Structure 1
Amino acid sequence: MPQEDLEDLPGVGPATAEKLRDAGYDSFQEIAVLSPGELSNEADVGESNAQSIISAARDDADIGGFETGEQIKKRRDRIGKLSLQIPDVDSLLGGGVETQSITEIYGEFGAGKSQVTHQLCVNVQLPTEHGGLEGSAIFIDSEDTFRPSRIDDMVRGLPEDVLEDTLEQRGILGDPTEDSTLDSLVEDFLDKIHVAKAFNSNHQILLAEKADDIVKDYEDGEWPVKMVAVDSLTAHFRAEYVGRGELADRQQKLNKHLHDLVKLGDLHNTAVVVTNQVAANPDSFFGDPTQPIGGNILGHTSTFRLYIRKSKKNKRIVRLVDAPNLADGEAVLRVKDEGLKPE
């Protein structure tokens, strides 16, 4: 996103423009989607002045008004689909994980949620003809789940034709069956995954804000950020806010965090994938008692919700629980040494 002249906005002089940029706001569109309170707190400007700045930014950015269905269709034509390389799961998702959306994956411990985020960190870098987005990834790690060795396994486990095209795309010479060639390819894949470990919920929120800076830095480059993964979204919030007395505070902070991620995906045409923990509902006498945590705030904010559960051996059942334009359904995948594979 090109930097715009913020001083063109009414009430914004050089000093205020500098405050806005220091707070991370370089464009009219980013300012237009803020509330006066947010802008006032983050950029240290008066709330009445913040309201005037936001109103002017909305006019210049042409945001917040009504659009025709045809205009929305044209905007949605920009949406990319990130393939999992598993036809049944991709079909379940209408072609793959969408950009400009939050896709939530929930399930019990060991179900394979982190396997999915690792596989997507690989697949997002693949050529478009193989279901990738030819972009880099950001991985916010709150449970110490990111493993470079798993990326290594998944890159080496790509089909031979995909490996050949990926090597050509990156200008890496060599035979895709030779270890030295694959070593270079794995190193190149890892170099395009930006990982940060979140130590608590406040740090996690800050990392989501910092992710926006990374997306901007790479936006006009050869490898723009096309996916942001948060694994897990709710672990720190669940551990730090215990009991009903703290539930309201937890949900308020989680709500802000989610909207930062929504804004990130929407403004930069990036896929946002979050994993979520579950709890057992003791009142459930029939069916699966497993429920995602995060309440209605997470349920309403996630565009797509996937429930992944264990089956026999390395088999996993993926169920689409909620989507605005897709029917519920199930698909099967297998978690193998070389990555996620079809049934």
Structure 2
Amino acid sequence: MEACFPCLGVRKRRVRPLPEEATPADLRHRHVAAVARTFSFKELAAATRNFREDGLVADEDAALYKGYLKSAGQVVAVKLQHVADGRGSSEKYNSEFLAHALKLSALRHPNLVNLIGFCADGNHRILVHEYMPLGSLEDHLHDPPPDKARLDWSTRINIAAGAAKGLQYLHNKGIAYRCMRSSDILLGDEHGYHPKLSQCGLVEFGRLEPAGAHFLKQYYGFACLDTVMTGNLTAASSLYSFGVVLLEIFTGRRAIADQAAGAGEHPNIVRWAQPFFKYRTRLRRMADPTLQGRYLLKDFERAMSVAFVCVQQDPAMRPPIADVVTALAFLASDRSS
């Protein structure tokens, strides 16, 4: 999900109501409303103070806002969708939006952000999700503010284990991310750093568009070669991008470094990691320096082994997600015991 990040510096923008049109009252709309709450545009505008800049929790393109719903007494994340074109027929757009909302409302798992409701008021199409107060995993791993505590090993392995469970649930539903990133893992509820996967960016397994060169440019470093070349999203290709996230968690490096760290170091985290995997004695050199050695070496080696099998170039060599869940859950329980 373009996720619940700390507010980024973007220019001020307000969203004005468009001319009203009849809200669809077909069976699909009523079906969605039965499982997800419906909101008026006026209610969501009030919750976000008319979508003010200081309520943005993702960049301008993501159009994700933090809001407070008085009727529910709850802080929420409000995601603006593309607005239907008021100049022409919007029946097809309405059907697609409601079908999408219906799919999301049916997804329920402890490690998945829930859809609270939606708005199909006039020309406006908006999704309302639960808000995760600690932001994204990316925020905590990369360039956190000086006053923010760095994640310790126990927290990292628990986040990895929880995210894997959420991904397994999605795979069982035949869906995943076009390309999973650390920004798709959101943190924080009554359980502290409890991880939940964003619902933004989910697609069904199968053919993706765009593919080829454009896909490679957009997802370079995150997506596996088989997806880049074929444009097909499979469970194996989804697992590869999760393996990239695991490498980020354990090493503290970005999937693609802003600049090459130095001579002989590749900015792509998978390419950078490959030489270390050849020699077990080198694995400790991959650990995030901010961990300051506060972890058991055997735990780190096991965790890195899980990441390594996920980013195998041959998709047939990558394990089922269930095996990854079992391995990470064992590490998490072993660490807490």
Same fold (TM over 0.5): no
Which structure would you say has the larger RCO, counting Cα contacts within 8 Å and 6 or more residues apart?
Answer: 1
TM-score using structure 2 length: 0.28
